Amino acid sequence: VVSFFSGKSCLVTGAGGNIGLATALRLAEMGTDIALLDMNADALAKAEAAVREKGVNVQSYVCDVTSESSVNDVVSRVISDFGKIDFLFNNAGYQGAFAPVQDYPAEDFPKVLNINVTGAFHVLKAVSRHMIENGYGRIVNTASMAGVKGPPNMAAYGASKGAIIALTETAAYDLAPYNIRVNAISPGYMGPGFMWDRQVELQAKANTQYFSTNPQEVVKQMIGSVPMRRYGDINEIPGVVAFLLGDDSSYMTGVNLEISGG
Ligand code: NAD
């Protein structure tokens, strides 16, 4: 049996990170050739070695998505290396600082917006131009529950992920005439790992009425706010991305799927 995914190629951004790598590995297991993009060369090299073990074609590209010219250059290289890009998992991101809005560091705000929104836009634009030529494309952007409802102390991150949800909707309209579907995923609290530990620690340090200053208490508070009473595992994400890239979601575009335990 030849899978729908075999012979397809996917560009994954933020591929050196937890969600990007887990998704790249899952898509590779399904037979998808994988182009990995990240600005962290060491993480990228490890990701490439792991994906290569799945036996598909894999290439990695060191690139900072905030640079439009680097993104355009990498996207042309991916097209020449793989022949085409069928799928885009537009996932690179940065959490930013944790502070109430009145104290939020002004220099961090444009940094977060630049990576999470402008960077995602650069990749979306370059890849969609190729997909239009090809007459086919499936795109998944990584938003966040922080973009569905802004959490305390995360002014820039919440604003950036709210922007990704709107960008997904706009791109779904603009690209629908070209057989390109564009959807988003919104993970909630995911753990364990760097992002979880960092957000627990920094929410405690932010010292507001919403979270305890004791990180162990913050863990209880965060998990207590989730109907399913646990954080999500990174491996609960790739199947949702694969669903949105695949034909089982053929009548879905402009949608944001929440992966958040309720
Ligand atoms: P991660 O930090 O493990 O991975 C993010 C990756 O993006 C890193 O490898 C980093 O090097 C890369 N990156 C950052 N800035 C970049 C840039 N300018 N150019 C290229 N690459 C860049 O985090 P993750 O949990 O895997 O996050 C992936 C996505 O999921 C992000 O968009 C994040 O905001 C989102 N998200 C994560 C969670 C969570 O709890 N982990 C929840 C909701 C949303």
**pLDDT tens-digit map of 10-53:** 999 999 999 999 999 999 999 999 999 999 999 999 999 999 99
| Dihedral-angle region of residue 138 (phi above 0 means left; psi in -120 to 50 means alpha; beta otherwise) | beta
Residue 209 lies in a domain: no
Residue 197 lies in a domain: no
157 labelled catalytic: yes
pLDDT tens digits, one per residue of 95-115: 999 999 999 999 999 999 999
pLDDT tens digits, one per residue of 199-226: 999 999 999 999 999 999 999 999 999 9
Residue 3 lies in a domain: no
Mutate to test the pocket of ligand 1, among 13, 18, 256 (most ligand atoms within 8 A of CB): 18
- What's the 1 CA to ligand 1 centre distance in angstroms? 34
161 lies in which domain range? Answer: 9-190+234-259
Residue 202 lies in a domain: no
Active-site position among 61, 94, 136, 157: 157
- What's the 245 CA to ligand 1 centre distance in angstroms? 19
Instruction: Look at residues 67, 120, 124, 60 and name the one whose alpha carbon lies nearest to residue 94.
Output: 120
Q: Whose CA is nearest to atom 2 of ligand 1?
A: 17
Residue 211 lies in a domain: no
The verdict on the CB of residue 57 being under 6 Å from ligand 1 is no
Comparing 13-22, 145-154, 188-197, 246-255, the range with the smallest average pLDDT is: 188-197
Residue 58 pairs in a beta bridge with 34
- What's the 177 CA to ligand 1 centre distance in angstroms? 30
Q: What total number of domains does the chain contain?
A: 1
Residue 160 lies in a domain: yes
What is residue 197's predicted lDDT score, i.e. its pLDDT? Answer: 94
Atom of ligand 1 nearest to the CA of 157: 34
- The beta strand positions in the chain, using DSSP E, are 9-13, 33-38, 58-62, 87-90, 137-142, 180-187, 190-191, 232-233, 256-259
What is residue 193's predicted lDDT score, i.e. its pLDDT? Answer: 85
Q: What is the CATH number of the domain that holds 53?
A: 3.40.50.720
3-state secondary structure of 33: strand
The verdict on the CB of residue 20 being under 6 Å from ligand 1 is yes
Residue 4 lies in a domain: no
What is residue 195's predicted lDDT score, i.e. its pLDDT? Answer: 83
Residue 15 lies in a domain: yes
